């Protein structure tokens, strides 16, 4: 056990650590690195700087029949003090363990590392082998290992952060664990926040509201299911507005941006306000408006939800009747997807039509003509078998069977989605996962998935192409029929109406607000990605195309507030996908939802100017419908030419022979002249 003197030394060392370098896992520089530190075999910890012994060691008398396991636990010290979001992968973990066998020399035993980070438990294993090297050092190393985030990716203040090392020895050995910077773990924390520093308006409650003035600026944070309440006097007015600016936090931590209540001092609820929720980039602002409230004392409360956290700033203002942020005149009236925000047209543009079967009829007529001629036997059997019969067979395949095959291939199968069906499924998916009851990991997985297709799922999409244009690079950009008429607002409000099942609700609740903002952004970004992928190398000849691919997991783009494009087609490599993500993601997306006399939605976009032709990846999963025979049209024309040439040649020979026969029959004979 550790002596009192050595314990005092360890505590003194920890007290010398700078305040900004506490042991909390944070997104600050070096705030995600923890070092394995031991002051003895019995007291080991994860610390923000290397301290304690350089080496801890021990001896084991084991054999293959009676193996012995050595376990060492490291608890983070000081404990976690910030709220953090864990990454998908562990950047790096190094365990510098060296084992010396009495007879066999240095070897590597089996090693298991169990990382317990909040509710996340990840097990890493390394089998026994020749000793690996880490630069000039020896030991075990894991890089970019996935973390098990099935129970969520949130690390709350006070949560356990622990690493448990277990290695199994099967022979008499001496082991050494090298510390003081040789063994460490590195997690790239994407976001963290000091809750106590943000929660400056506490303590308040509905029964004990904090006295204030309406027009003051108030700073605070909704932590868990707290209620932050203020009491203030309202003077005679035409309009009262309360503006709440919500700080950017990860999607699963966002508090309700729906209706927060205003009541009189005696507990009576006032009428529901008009509400405008505006998501600009990653910042959400909510505006409430009441008309002609009676003067007197009022209480305003912001109500939190369990396991949520979001800082805010709010302030009230008196206004006079005029056009304001909730006036419907500021809304365009409809939200449509706008195509061709990137236009690299440089050459021909053409309209596309599905395969037509009309030209089959003249081909059938020629076939009947050729077969009839075949049975007239005007030429030698050798010539017929060498020229006319093969031409007839190829003509049947290229001019009749192939176009019929192509027309059948254009029909949408039961396993395929049209773009309308894909959008309907996507909207339903987003409605389901935007519910406050949805686990955060599930919400992130579904919202971020491209087209809503998650890892290992198939995307089978049937597309009707209206037109195509040649780009600067010689490739062809396809334009989906009707894509520029897609009404995002109708899709969203229709889903809300169906989910309400005809029930009339008072105001927009949290589920509706969250869904409207998330769905608008997700649908926009999905359609942008689809348009960016619709590029083909060859000049298109048909209007029906298909995407058939498995989607695989990749790094999401955007932010923790609005993750997107976290799955990619299996045929596109990760580097090309990331380049495309970076190039087409808009500079700004502003979604505004108004709970007015008529629910309204508005979308403003500042498109990226970085996208160019080189950013389009090769996408082999996009294919056109067609027949089984390449160059069928050329083959049909050639066969018709051969057949006609053969028939005309036979007809010419037949007429020539007839003329010769007639000339021979009418010529005077020498015997005729004698008599």
**In the chain, what are the domain boundaries?**
4-193, 200-326, 360-409+630-666, 419-619
pTM here is 0.75
Q: Would the pLDDT of 229 be above 60?
A: yes
Q: What is the pLDDT of residue 629?
A: 62
**Percentages (nearest 5) of helix, strand, coil residues in the chain:** 30, 35, 40
pLDDT in tens, 481-498: 888 889 999 999 999 888
Q: What is the pLDDT of residue 244?
A: 93
Cis check: omega of the bond before 482, within 30 degrees of 0: no
Neighbours of 454 (CB within 10 A): 17
pLDDT in tens, 97-123: 988 876 667 888 889 999 999 988 999
Average pLDDT value for residue range 370-375: 66
What is the C-alpha to C-alpha distance for residues 430 and 525, in angstroms, rounded to an integer? 14
Phi then psi dihedrals of residue 424, to 5 deg: -65, -45
Q: What is the pLDDT of residue 354?
A: 64
Average pLDDT value for residue range 48-57: 92
pLDDT in tens, 274-318: 888 888 877 889 999 898 899 999 999 998 888 889 999 999 999
Average pLDDT, the chain: 82
Q: Do domains 4-193 and 200-326 have the same CATH topology?
A: yes
What is the C-alpha to C-alpha distance for residues 528 and 546, in angstroms, rounded to an integer? 17
Q: Quick one: tokens of 245?
A: 């600016």
Q: List the one residue out of 431, 625, 424, 622 whose CA is nearest residue 529.
A: 622
What is the C-alpha to C-alpha distance for residues 39 and 370, in angstroms, rounded to an integer? 98
Q: What is the pLDDT of residue 417?
A: 94
Give whole-number Cα distances, 632 to 403, 627, 645, in Å.
9, 8, 20
pLDDT in tens, 501-517: 755 555 567 788 889 99
What is the C-alpha to C-alpha distance for residues 331 and 328, in angstroms, rounded to an integer? 5
Q: List the one residue out of 225, 183, 211, 232 whose CA is nearest residue 54.
A: 183
Are 491 and 553 in contact, with CB atoms under 8 Å apart?
no
Q: What is the pLDDT of residue 152?
A: 83
Q: What is the pLDDT of residue 656?
A: 66
Confidence tier at 8 by pLDDT (50, 70, 90): very low
Query: Is the model more confident about 324 or about 118?
Result: 118
**CATH number given to 200-326:** 2.60.120.380
Q: What is the pLDDT of residue 136?
A: 38
Domain 4-193 in CATH 2.60.120: yes
């Amino acid at each position: 056990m550790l002596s009192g003197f050595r314990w005092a030394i360890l505590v003194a060392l920890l007290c010398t650590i700078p305040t900004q370098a506490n042991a909390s896992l944070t997104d600050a520089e070096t705030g995600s690195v923890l070092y394995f530190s031991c002051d003895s075999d019995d007291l080991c910890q994860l610390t923000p700087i290397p301290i304690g012994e350089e080496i801890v060691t021990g001896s084991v008398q084991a054999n293959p029949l009676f193996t012995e396991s050595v376990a060492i636990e490291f608890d983070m010290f000081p404990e976690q003090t910030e709220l953090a979001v864990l990454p998908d992968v562990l950047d790096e973990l190094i365990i510098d363990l060296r084992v010396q066998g009495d007879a066999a020399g240095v070897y590597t035993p089996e090693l298991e590392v169990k990382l317990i980070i909040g509710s996340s438990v990840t097990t890493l294993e390394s089998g026994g082998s020749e000793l690996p090297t880490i630069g000039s050092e020896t030991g075990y190393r894991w890089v970019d290992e996935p973390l098990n985030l099935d129970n969520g990716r949130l690390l709350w203040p006070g949560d356990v952060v622990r690493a448990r090392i277990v290695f199994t020895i099967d022979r008499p050995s001496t082991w050494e664990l090298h510390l003081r910077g040789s063994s460490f773990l590195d997690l790239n924390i994407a976001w963290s926040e000091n809750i106590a520093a943000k929660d400056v308006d506490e303590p308040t409650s509905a029964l004990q509201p904090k006295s204030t003035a309406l027009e003051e600026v108030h700073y605070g944070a909704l932590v868990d299911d707290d209620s932050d309440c203020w009491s203030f006097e309202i003077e005679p007015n035409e309009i009262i507005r309360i503006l709440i600016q919500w700080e950017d936090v990860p999607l699963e931590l966002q508090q309700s941006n729906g209706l927060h209540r205003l009541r009189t001092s005696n507990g009576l609820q006032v009428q529901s306000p008009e509400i405008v929720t505006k998501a600009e980039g990653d910042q959400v602002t909510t505006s409430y408006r009441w008309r002609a409230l009676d003067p007197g004392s009022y209480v305003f409360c912001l109500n939190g939800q369990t396991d949520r956290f979001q800082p805010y700033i709010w302030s009230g203002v008196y206004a006079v009747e005029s056009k304001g942020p909730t006036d419907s005149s500021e809304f365009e009236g409809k939200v449509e997807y706008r195509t061709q925000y990137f236009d690299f047209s440089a050459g021909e543009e053409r309209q596309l039509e599905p395969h037509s079967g009309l030209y089959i009829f003249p081909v059938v007529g020629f076939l009947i003509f050729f077969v009839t001629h075949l049975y007239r036997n005007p030429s030698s059997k050798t010539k017929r078998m060498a020229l006319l019969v093969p031409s007839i067979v190829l003509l049947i395949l290229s001019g009749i069977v192939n176009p019929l095959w192509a027309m059948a291939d254009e029909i949408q199968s039961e396993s395929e989605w049209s773009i309308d069906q894909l959008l309907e499924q996507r909207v339903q998916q987003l409605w389901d996962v935007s519910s406050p009851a949805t686990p955060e990991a599930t919400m992130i997985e579904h919202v971020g998935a491209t087209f809503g297709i998650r890892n290992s799922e198939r995307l089978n999409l049937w597309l009707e192409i209206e037109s195509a244009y040649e780009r600067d690079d010689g490739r062809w950009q396809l334009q989906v029929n009707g894509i520029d008429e897609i009404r995002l607002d109708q899709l969203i409000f229709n889903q809300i109406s169906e989910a309400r099942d005809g029930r009339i609700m008072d105001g927009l609740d949290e589920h509706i607000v969250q869904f409207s903002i998330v769905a608008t952004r997700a649908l926009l970004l999905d359609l942008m990605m689809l348009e960016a992928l619709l590029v083909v190398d060859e000049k298109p000849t048909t209007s029906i195309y298909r995407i058939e691919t498995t989607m695989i997991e990749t790094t999401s783009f955007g932010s923790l507030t609005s993750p997107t494009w976290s799955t990619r087609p299996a045929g596109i490599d990760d580097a090309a996908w990331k380049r495309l993500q970076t190039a087409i993601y808009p500079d700004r997306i502003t979604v505004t939802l108004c709970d007015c006399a008529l629910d309204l939605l508005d979308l403003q976009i500042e498109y990226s100017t970085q996208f160019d032709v080189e950013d389009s990846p090769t996408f082999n999963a996009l294919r056109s419908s067609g027949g089984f025979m390449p160059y069928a049209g050329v083959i049909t024309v050639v066969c018709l030419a051969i057949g006609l040439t053969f028939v005309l040649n036979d007809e010419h020979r037949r007429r020539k022979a007839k003329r010769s026969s007639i000339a021979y029959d009418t010529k005077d004979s020498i015997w005729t002249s004698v008599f």
